[in-house]
Amino acid sequence: MHMETYPNLIPLVILAPALGATINLFLGHRLGERLSGLVGVIASLLAFIFSFLIVIYLNDPAVTTGTVIDPIALFEGWIRIGSDAGFHVDIPWQFRVDTITATMLMVVTGVGTLIHIYAIGYMHGDPRFGRFFAYLNMFLMFMLVLVTGNNFLVTFVGWEGVGLMSYLLIGFWWDKSAPVGWKNSNAARKAMIANRIGDFGIIMATILIFWTFGTLNYYQPGEVANPCYVLEHEHLISEEQAKKGECDLQAVEAYAAEHGTEAEGDLSEEGAYSAGHGGLTVEEMTNSKFLPGQLGVFGQLEVLMALEEGENIVWNMDAEGNPVVRDRMIEFGPYALDISAMLFLIIVFMVLGVSGKSAQIPLFVWLPDAMAGPTPVSALMHAATMVTAGVFLLVRSNVFLEYSAEGRLLVALIGAGTAFMAGFIALGQWDIKRVLAFSTVSQLGFMVAAVGVGAYVAALFHLATHAVFKALLFLGSGSVIHGVEHGHHHVHEHHGHHGHGEHEHEEKDAHGQTDVHGTDAITLHEEEFDPQDMRNMGGLRKRMPITFVTYLIGTFALSGLPIFAGFWSKDEILLDAWHHGLESVNVLDQLSGLIVFFTLLVAAGFTAFYMWRQIQMVFFGEPRSEAAAHAPESVPSMTIPLVALAFFSTFIGLINVPKGAPIFYPTFYKDYEFKHFLEASIPSVTQGETLIFNLGIAGLATLLAFGAIFFAHSIYGGRKAVVGEHGAEDGRDPLQMNPSTSQAFDVANRRLYWDDFYFSFVIRPYQRLADFFADVLDWRFLHDYFHDSVLKRGYDAIANLLANPLDIGLIDGVVNGVGRAVQFFSGRFRTVQTGYVRTYAVVLLLGVVAIVVLMLLPLIPTGS
Amino acid sequence: MEFAVPTEAFIVLSTILFVLGALGVLLRKNAILVFMSVELMLNASNLALVAFARQWGGLDGHLFVFFVMTVAAAEVAVGLALIVAIFRSKNSINIDDLHQMEG
């Protein structure tokens, strides 16, 4: 069905949400809520459909490689510096369509569409409804640019774009009255700033990559990412050869010689050695036609790392066709770095960027505050998609990590540390969304740690499953919050608050039911009621059954109970970490593997514990406030996505059933379908082992999860969830009552003092510095002192100099002097006019005499 | 032609008369006397003209003398009129009294 043209749909995937955003931006308020929401959902749905087509294409067994798509000619030569003979900088706008991309596309557009549908119900009544959907679509567009880019710069465009949309969406309710509006916009700014610090890391990494490799492309057009996989798939080399990584033309020839197959025709023709599946020749499959310098970034790295110290290799052809040679060292003017040191530097910077975007230590502090945004935003960005951009980038750079053991160690430690720390903090939170936020940070730590131990497939798998069940949990929490708000409104309407009566209720209606989201302290009807505080909830399973059941499923998935999605993905990470720790060659890898394994095990225990705590507090027991007692179930446009996500949370784990898993394998599912899907794009999968399901590890993890749940139940179960009868006013956690745990609980509640630390050591000094610059330097010194003493006085002095000595003294002096001179001389000359006639007569006579003498002078004979 | 009295004698006489007249103009205070000195100068030049006319035999000199005389007469008329006018305002014909236009 001409499926090979499906990848050309990629520009459409991005164009659909762009169009939806444009329509909603300009026509949003005229379209009204229904149409606006419909436009948004349809745009997202279109993107999903196109992504699905691409996945179908890539799932075809005949398709073993990804493709690079050059979009329309308008983007030809996006950044191109240099002459036609040879570009110094050539960064084209290209899309990369391979299995990693396809995975991310499905996650982003699939979960995105469901959340768009949910948002129609959630944002009902908001005056800026159209704008919200425009922002959601714009976010989707940027995220899709991020995952489909073929080079680091296109990815960075998407990276920055989602950072911007994060700012706009978190601060969406910036126009609420103080202090709520300020809280929202502060959270937005915090997100932007933390992201920006990460962006610095990414930019540095990009620059270093460009300097090292001369290009930013992941893969050049026609380059194959994983030749071993393709060759083995076409039976051109043996499995052992593939495992060892010998996947070039010599290996093919050796294999052919071994098996006595003759080459039918030239190697460069289709059909040599095999029936030419996918239209690739052997040369194309082994990237033989490329000179090392013409490969993409990852190909170049493999070649460079294979060089010995000081060994030279023909790298590229320059403009005249002369070969260019290089060795392992990267030159920086007078300095040179070896490629492995350079690689580590690149990874360090990249990790900074990842920790900004994917909320790891040390830049995770923006994510809990980002819960100030509307719940669909929290679900979409801060659970499923935007925060996974960092993990995606690391998976994309799997070749970088494969060649740097120190880099891997760094990544693994950061991931494991974050997972543990965030899990601990989540134990002490009161806000329903904050618990989920820290849970997200913790799970992202899982993913990053997985990447750190080389389990790229596990990381992506967990990314996908986590997106589904975390979005479910967030949407469920949104439903709960909505319900509690409705209940609160309901209660106060009935009680008819004195004097305020109709007026205030109408005002609240105009603002919509979405009036009070995202804050800890809101003033509503004179008392402070936080609909997000779990101490105000309780017993909601009877009032909101659908929400309860779906939330429960989400909790099971997150805790990693068997057959739910989280079990498979978490388990695979643990298995990979264990294997890595035991079987690795490098001691750093062994260390990281074991540390990661034990830390993640504990973090998983935390996860189950705080999730069950949350379930007990919110859904079981008796309602602790009037609002909770009257909370209604949410509208279908909100509950249907919940049900859909719950369904996926249950079953999506089965795409990557490990080999040897009881019951499921091999009866129902082949092993590691997802892994095989990704193998085409991740070379290390081919060189790695296929791990058998380890009952010990899986059993241990499951036991731990159940144990944590039982433990939580013993503390929070029944009616003991919160100590105190009046909700948030006097509610205290049972752990706070117990003297041996109350300190730990308080520390967790205060988020391990990270925010306080940053505030006192970073923000306050910065503010003081800024105040110093503004007040002292700028105003008092520059404007007052400098302006008055130097500028004003200087100017006055110069003006004075010009006015008095120069103008009056010199110029007037000259002009007046002329007059005085005339006067002086005329005074003298005037005396000639005596007035006496006789004087004149004498002069006359003398004159006559003079003339006569002069006339007669020539006549005097002088003697010839 | 040979003359009994040589022309030089007339010229010398004319010169002496002219110088006397010039001195008179310069040294005399009385305005009328100044005029008389001026007349003397004119007559001296007349004499010189006639002397040369006699020597060379032409009529040019004689003719020019007539012109000079006429001019002298006219000039005296005007000058005396001026003196009368000055006397009317200054009541004196001392030329040293006329120094109003001085610097």
- Report pLDDT digits (tens) over B87-96: 999 898 888 8
CA angle, A431 then A437 then A439, to 5°: 110
Contacts of A191 (CB under 8 A, 6+ apart): A163, A166, A167, A170, A366, A367, A369, A370
From A830, A831, A836, residue closest to B99, measured CB to CB = A836
pLDDT on residue A522: 42
Of B27, B95, B103, the CB nearest to A830: B103
Where in chain B are the domains? Answer: 7-90
Residue A661 has what pLDDT?
Answer: 67
A830–B98 C-beta distance less than 8 A: no
pTM (two decimals): 0.77
Cross-chain Cβ contact B103/A837 below 8 Å: no
- As a whole number of angstroms, the distance between CA A307 and CA A209 comes to 18
CA dihedral A355, A358, A362, A368 (to 10 degrees): 160
Is-contact A657 A672, C-beta < 8 A? yes
Q: Which of A313, A751, A701, A734 is nearest to A520 (CA)?
A: A751
B103: which chain A residues are within 8 Å (Cβ-Cβ)?
829-835
> How close does chain A come to B33, measured CA to CA in Å?
13
A313: number of Cβ within 10 Å: 17
Contact by Cβ (8 Å): A242, A232: yes
Residues of A in contact with B98 (CB under 8 A): 835-837
Which residue in A828, A830, A838 has the most chain B C-beta atoms within 10 A of its own C-beta, making it the best mutation to test that interface?
A: A838
Could you say which DSSP state residue A634 is in? Answer: P
Residue type, A159: W
Residue type, A698: A
Chain B residues touching residue A825 (CB < 8 angstroms):
none
- Among the partner-chain residues A832, A833, A841, the one whose CB lies closest to the CB of B25 is A841
CA distances from A660 to A671, A674, A701, B61 (A): 8, 16, 17, 165
- For chain B, what is the largest distance between any 2 Cα atoms, rounded to a whole number of angstroms? 57
Q: Are A439 and A559 in contact (CB under 8 A)?
A: no
Q: Indicate yes or no: CB of B102 within 8 angstroms of CB of A834.
A: yes
pLDDT cut 90: percent of chain B above it: 76
Cβ neighbour number for residue A259 with a 10 Å cutoff: 9
pLDDT tens track for A843-864: 999 999 999 999 998 888 876 5
pLDDT of residue A73: 66
CA distance B79 to chain A (A): 14
Query: Is A552 buried (19+), middle (13-18) or exposed (0-12) by CB count in 10 A?
Result: middle
Mutate to test the interface with B, among A836, A848, A852 (most CBs of B within 10 A): A836
The span from the CA of A532 to the CA of A617, in Å, is: 12
The gap between the terminal CA atoms of chain B, to the nearest Å, is: 57
DSSP per-residue codes, A678-712:
HHTT-HHHHHS--PBP-HHHHHHHHHHHHHHHHHH
- CATH number given to B7-90: 1.10.287.3510
The reported pLDDT for the residue numbered B68 is 96
Task: Say what the pLDDT of residue A278 is.
Answer: 55
A121 residue type, one letter:
G
Residue A97 tokens, joined: 């369509």
The pair of three-digit structure tokens given for residue A811, joined into one six-digit string: 């110029």
DSSP string, A343-411: HHHHHHHHHHHHHHHTT-TTTTTHHHHGGGS-HHHHHIIIIISTTHHHHHHHHHTHHHHHT-HHHHHHH
Q: Which residues of chain A have pLDDT under 50?
A: 265-266, 270-277, 497-526
**Closest approach of A845 to chain B, Cα-based (Å):** 9
A829 contacts on B by Cβ (under 8 Å): 103
